[in-house]
Chains A and B, each alone.
Chain A
């Protein structure tokens, strides 16, 4: 037990988090605030009775995007197109919700599935770019994200715009086309869906051959290639799952308050980047991703409370997130660099 505790304390993750908190405290001192009071405000504001609902709502999106990025990351693939996949999922779910002739409960299911399909299709496109056109996934997924966000923005502002409204938003979903929420909070069934997705990822990772293939590719891409893992197929599968989850997050966003697609409301809070940060912090491990997502959801919501009580800008929490990853990145080695070196060596040997 003591061994495990000292091991955890010496792990780079703990070190990075502590370093982030310490540097954050220095920033707070620099702005003339009391760090202890500020951190206390973060915790009470996010975990107290007033904030916990908000934290769980934020967790739904952050954990969803973290999973979307963690699943390919487990195999060393970085999907930077989360924004585009999420927004396409959202707008597709909105269109389905508005125009589906089915009864409301079926429409909700259909909208979720349509959102996932749209996200998956778009993410697959990025995978095809890497597989068949030789554009690195990192770049293709990111560049594809911009036109998708622009397209959704166009649709929400022109063809699908709510008549008479001055806001760039679609009409509200019809009655009953919404995810059920818990009590009178903003937490919806979406949280359950995302947690189920996390559980499914955990099970796949631990207990299935596919999960083993993914982990092996992440740990040693050359070894797994020798062992018969087909990289292109794996990229395609992982990206479609990743995009489906990102699309799901978009669909959940539309089927929860304010029950419509509002231009920018999915991308502005930066769930994709927070999710990526959480996935990186956890090195894409399933349980770790859940814990890291919760940590960042607490930071995001608590940041608002800190801003109210201590007048320290909430952007500080974004700084904290990034500092944690900067410290961690210096100790991390994902397979892409060694692989490149290995390729060079292989070439030299020939």
Chain B
């Protein structure tokens, strides 16, 4: 049987890091900050989680440290785009590069190894019902983000800042403050995503272990139109593609084909949704 509970579980595992990062990206998008530094923020989270868990012996402290470190790292984006008005795309790309270099450098200087740090005494997150606690947290985060963005004053103001910063400022809402908050929230979520990747899905750190997942998260934000539920569906699509890929590999398909599957599926989904949106645009007017 191809579609069974095993496949679903591995899809849910693959989905969690993407979902957490993409939620962060969606919050930024709503506040009018284009965040393509998700990949780098996640990678910083991965390394901090592993390093902290190894030194303290507590994966929970690892998760906390990952969230804090990625949030601190996200300040580069906040200061660069909001305060200094630099180019978000260039900054995001630079942050991704910096994270790859920095984590590899730290891996060498802190652990003295190259490539992968994998120690039997490194503690990962415990599993509850086959999934890490962060998986449950990510679903809760979807609900919280959904309610915040559609019902709560804070979320409404955040959207106002993203859609019409001048109008928001006139009403006494500081766009800079909300944009900083959105970027920091995305940092925390990406840190959690990194912790899930390094201590939940596996228990190790490898150079560049995010391997494009941050980019997939950026695409998930677009696919899901920056709506929490939309982002959840987009991340689920990716999770299923990755899990199905692993399954097909077991059935003898070469690894290269299954490696590429999630990206192809994501691209395909992007084509379909934008094509549909384009067809419906004339009738619905200027929506999106």
Residues of A with C-beta under 8 A to B56: none
Q: Is B218 an interface residue (CB 8 A)?
A: yes
User: Could you tell me the distance between the alpha carbons of A150 and B90 in the complex, rounded to whole angstroms?
Assistant: 27
Q: Is A104 an interface residue (CB 8 A)?
A: no
Q: Would you give the shortest CB distance from B37 to chain A, in whole angstroms?
A: 10
**Do residues A325 and B97 form an inter-chain contact, with CB atoms below 8 A?**
yes
**Do residues B267 and A143 form an inter-chain contact, with CB atoms below 8 A?**
yes
Residues A135 and B91 in contact in the complex (CB < 8 Å), given A154-B256, A316-B105: no
**Stretch from A110-118, A222-230, A326-334 at the B interface:** A326-334
Number of A-B contacts (CB under 8 A): 132
Residues of B with C-beta under 8 A to A219: none
**Do residues B100 and A318 form an inter-chain contact, with CB atoms below 8 A?**
yes
**Do residues A326 and B218 form an inter-chain contact, with CB atoms below 8 A?**
no
Which residue of A135, A313, A325 contacts B90 across the interface (Cβ within 8 Å)?
A325
**Do residues B263 and A322 form an inter-chain contact, with CB atoms below 8 A?**
no
Q: Is B275 an interface residue (CB 8 A)?
A: yes
**Do residues A158 and B271 form an inter-chain contact, with CB atoms below 8 A?**
no
User: Could you tell me the distance between the alpha carbons of A144 and B89 in the complex, rounded to whole angstroms?
Assistant: 19
Residues A326 and B98 in contact in the complex (CB < 8 Å), given A133-B271, A154-B254: yes
Residues of A107-136 at the interface with B, using a CB-CB cut-off of 8 Å, are: 129, 133-136
Interface digits, A19-44 against B, CB 8 Å rule (1 contact, 0 not)?
00000000100010000000000000
Q: Is B76 an interface residue (CB 8 A)?
A: yes
Q: Is B95 an interface residue (CB 8 A)?
A: yes
Interface digits, A160-171 against B, CB 8 Å rule (1 contact, 0 not)?
000000000000
Interface digits, B80-113 against A, CB 8 Å rule (1 contact, 0 not)?
1000111111110111011011101100110000
Interface size class on chain A is 35 or more
**Do residues A336 and B97 form an inter-chain contact, with CB atoms below 8 A?**
no
Residues of B with C-beta under 8 A to A139: 215, 218-219, 222, 270
Residues of A304-344 at the interface with B, using a CB-CB cut-off of 8 Å, are: 313, 315-319, 321-323, 325-326, 328-334, 336-337
Q: Is A78 an interface residue (CB 8 A)?
A: yes
**Stretch from A190-198, A247-255, A273-281 at the B interface:** A273-281
Q: Is A240 an interface residue (CB 8 A)?
A: no
The interface of chain A, by Cβ under 8 A from chain B, is 27, 31, 78, 80, 129, 133-136, 138-140, 142-144, 146-147, 150-151, 153-154, 157-158, 273, 276-277, 280, 313, 315-319, 321-323, 325-326, 328-334, 336-337, 347
Q: Is B264 an interface residue (CB 8 A)?
A: yes
Given contacts A143-B219, A329-B91, A334-B90, 15 further A-B contacts (CB under 8 A): A133-B274, A143-B263, A144-B267, A150-B256, A151-B260, A277-B97, A313-B105, A315-B101, A316-B101, A322-B94, A326-B80, A329-B94, A330-B80, A331-B86, A337-B88
**Do residues A326 and B89 form an inter-chain contact, with CB atoms below 8 A?**
no
Residues of B54-96 at the interface with A, using a CB-CB cut-off of 8 Å, are: 76, 79-80, 84-91, 93-95
Q: Is B1 an interface residue (CB 8 A)?
A: no
**Do residues A334 and B87 form an inter-chain contact, with CB atoms below 8 A?**
yes
Residues of A with C-beta under 8 A to B270: 133, 135, 139-140, 143
Residues of B with C-beta under 8 A to A326: 76, 80, 91, 94-95, 98
Residues of A with C-beta under 8 A to B286: 347
Q: Is B278 an interface residue (CB 8 A)?
A: yes
Q: Would you give the shortest CB distance from A77 to chain B, in whole angstroms?
A: 11
